[in-house]
Amino acid sequence: MPKSTKTPPQPPSRAAAKSASRNTDSGPSAVAGAMLDAPSKKMVQVQELAAAMPQNSTKPAEHGFENGLSPMSGATAKPASRLPTGSTLSEENTNDKVGTVADEGRNPLVNPLDRVRVDSSGQVLTTNQGVRVADNQNSLKYGTRGPVLLEDFILREKITHFDHERIPERIVHARGSGAHGFFECYEPLTGITKAAPFREAGKVTPVFVRFSTVQGERGSKDTARDVRGFAVKFYTDEGNWDLVGNNIPVFFIQDSMKFPDLVHAVKPEPHHQMPQAASAHDTFWDFVSLMPESTHMLMWQMSDRAIPRSYATMQGFGVHTFRMVNDQGESVFVKFHWTPMAGTHSLVWDEAVKISGADPDYHRRDLWERIEAGAYPEYELALQVFTEEQAEQFSFDILDATKIVPEELVPLRPVGRMVLNRNPDNFFAETEQVAFCAAHVVPGIDFSNDPLLAGRIHSYVDTQISRLGGPNFHEIPINAPIAPVHNNQRDGFHRQAIPRGRVSYEPNSLAGGCPFQAGAMQQGFVSVPARIRAEDQQGKVRAKPEKFADHYTQARLFFDSQTPVEQDHIANAFRFELSKVTVPAVRERMVAGLRHVSDWLAKKVATGLGIDPLPDPLSLALAQPTPPEVERSPALSLLARPGNGSLQGRKVALLVAPGVHGASISAVQRALVEEGVVARLVGTRIGRMPTSDGDVLDADASLENEPGFLFDALVLPDGEEGVAALAQDGHTMEFIKDQFRHCKTILAIGSSHRLMSRAGLPMVLDKSYEQGGSGLFFTDSATAREAAASFIDAMRKHRHFGREMDPPLM
């Protein structure tokens, strides 16, 4: 065969190479050896980098089921220097604004929040452009009484920014409070998951937690009867994981298709926008009375779980069944439980209603004050872990969000603790702008086929895009991960990152293949190939599994597991909520559904609503439900979780007035403070008050500005003159009555027993739900310090329901 006469490409001359390297719209046919200056050097190195990847070597591995289970890492090539990957050769030219060349392989947007904190101490006022403002008191006018001038850019900037300071609130969970903290793992969980927070004992992961109500708008009250959100953002070293849950482990509906209907029903009625932050109205009860799968959730919502004492004494749940996946690709089902170390404690209804008027920020204030005082809220994370084979044996379907897995079937496994130890610097920048998304998971965490969870995976991301102004909400500092972020996403509203280089696609050779796909070997996220066994059913279908049709068994389990006092509270809650319904047929329908839970409950509610005779039970969707494995579960009772006995963060009122006995009150106060209690002197007025024994007490609150229902316990003073002064103030009697009615612990010293009598307390109690005292203590001044010990021990019970009466006698 004759030799080719084709002339091989010749390298360009030095002058030609230098000239070609300065063009951006064409280039020579060959590039080699003409590294005269930076442009020509970059041209040569770009050619070498691209030539090092003659083809996409990972392409064959994109096909086939086995390759899908274990994807390959992306192909890369290493450049000779940083020249080929830069956006511009002029990046070497620095100044105070552009700074220096980007650090190699780093995205500074994920640095600690120090990078965006602003401290204006000692600084002059400026515009947003950094121009110093000489006068912040007056707009620019033509003469002192003339018209304001359009050229006043300082006024226009200030007013324009003010006009746009509000962003759309969350559709649900709008009213929230947040805190920073950390999660600490107890032991390695590598046998069941490769998730970063659980890789080793003692591993600490930063977290941000947001607690919230569901129904109310951003300015609504904290103490409404409502579900509470309990959302945790784990800033892991492999990305952000959002465990977005509630304080109740089940939900109203089984499929995300019904979520808009539920929210429309529970929100204020559209024709008059009432009631705010309340479910006690027609449309909600009309909806749930026609949705029998809501019955289990209603048991929880009508229980004291829906009116927690504080965020620090509230459980949290992941609600759905999730997957955990280990390094071998083996998966198990898991449910997440947060348990407060301070115990699970709630308000009583009368107390919640009063607090909402006196302090609508009650829970927000409590969380802030606990952290400021060093009484850090702490929670233990526990898992329920079970296999697919175990799940198939349960009498209920683990994909059904209206069902729990009883602890008697799958015990809780404690795996770590979470401590909240830092309040946000700025509520809007952090608590309001934080974006939780059910879709945010890390390797080692995966989803199940729960149809409600499937909708949440989409919905949360979608709503954040609308609420926070575009797809770059992940770059808002509170949402940025601490793990490196490198991808080819560009542009959009409010983009903060300034990517270096000209490549924004993959695969590529002009950036050496970077950023390249991690593949399975470098801990890239790989979905579990089979989230649940399909059995022999195939094909797309709009239907629910048969076990989803058992709507009452677990509602009955919850109710039967409550103590008698809690059952009374549930009945009273249904009575109140349904009394607000204006359509009798809706009330009767709801009572008919309750008959499948408890005839006692249905009769008590019906009696309170004047329904006679009792309506027939609703028809069942599943005539023969599978017999349950567990009929009573003590763990479902709030009273079964008293906590570790700590009183940190609890608030006690010690009433004072001029002439009280100071030494005894001070002795009790010292004993309380030693326990971490916030022991406040509440006076007939604020300020200094002389005592009968020559001391001076300084009241930092008054009977008027801090009503009794804001406190967890009460101490009444000795001292004839002081007691007489308290007796003359009508607030005192209300203070004592509320403490008694709400079953709080009360200590009366010396002559203050007359205040108890004057308040009309029924000192002989016929009704008792518990063994032990009634939480009332009487002592004299000489033994006040000793009596404080018994008083403090009684406070650990939180309430003394043996005193509770319905209706109240006072």
Residues marked active site are found at 173, 246
DSSP 490-551: ---TT------SS--SSS-STTTT-S---TGGGT-----S-SS--TT--S------GGGG--
Q: Rounded distance, CA 557 to CA 630, Å?
A: 8
* Cα 708 from Cα 738, distance rounded (Å): 6
CA 215 – CA 737 distance, rounded (Å): 31
Radius of gyration of the chain (CA): 33
Q: Which two tokens stand for residue 106?
A: 């780093």
CA dist 208 and 111 (Å) reads 15
Count Cα atoms within 13 angstroms, Cβ side, for 738: 25
Structure tokens at 334: 């898991």
| Backbone dihedral angles phi then psi of residue 333, each to the nearest 5 degrees | -85, 150
Tokens, residue 283: 């449309």
Q: Give residue 723's identity as a one-letter amino acid code.
A: V
Structure tokens at 430: 């952090």
The answer to whether 246 and 401 are in contact (CB under 8 A) is: no
Which of these, 77, 238, 49, 259, lies nearest to 172 by C-alpha position?
A: 259
Three-state DSSP at 351 gives helix
C-alpha span between 591 and 288 (Å, rounded):
12
Contact 123, 96 (CB under 8 A): no
**What is d(CA 216, CA 337) in angstroms, rounded to the nearest whole number?**
25
Antiparallel, parallel or unpaired: β 331-340 and 228-236: unpaired
Length, in residues, of the chain: 810
Q: Which two three-digit tokens encode residue 379?
A: 């929670």
* Dihedral angle computed from the Cα positions of residues 738, 740, 744 and 748, in that order, rounded to the nearest 10 degrees: 110
327 - beta bridge partners? none
Residue 515, preceding bond cis, omega within 30 degrees? yes
How far are the Cα atoms of 139, 154, 473, 648, 738 from residue 161, in angstroms, in the given order?
Answer: 16, 11, 19, 42, 46
Tokens of residue 470, six digits:
């575009």
What's the rounded Cα separation, in Å, for the pair 590 and 602?
A: 9
CA distance 649 to 647: 6
Peptide bond into 507 cis (omega under 30): yes
Amino acid at 257: M
Tell me the backbone φ, ψ of residue 184, rounded to 5 degrees: -120, 125
**Residue whose C-alpha is closest to residue 416's, from 201, 207, 185:** 185
Burial degree of 298 (CB within 10 A; 0-12, 13-18, 19+):
buried
d(CA 589, CA 596): 12
Contact 515, 497 (CB under 8 A): no
For residue 416, what are the β-bridge partners? Answer: 185, 381
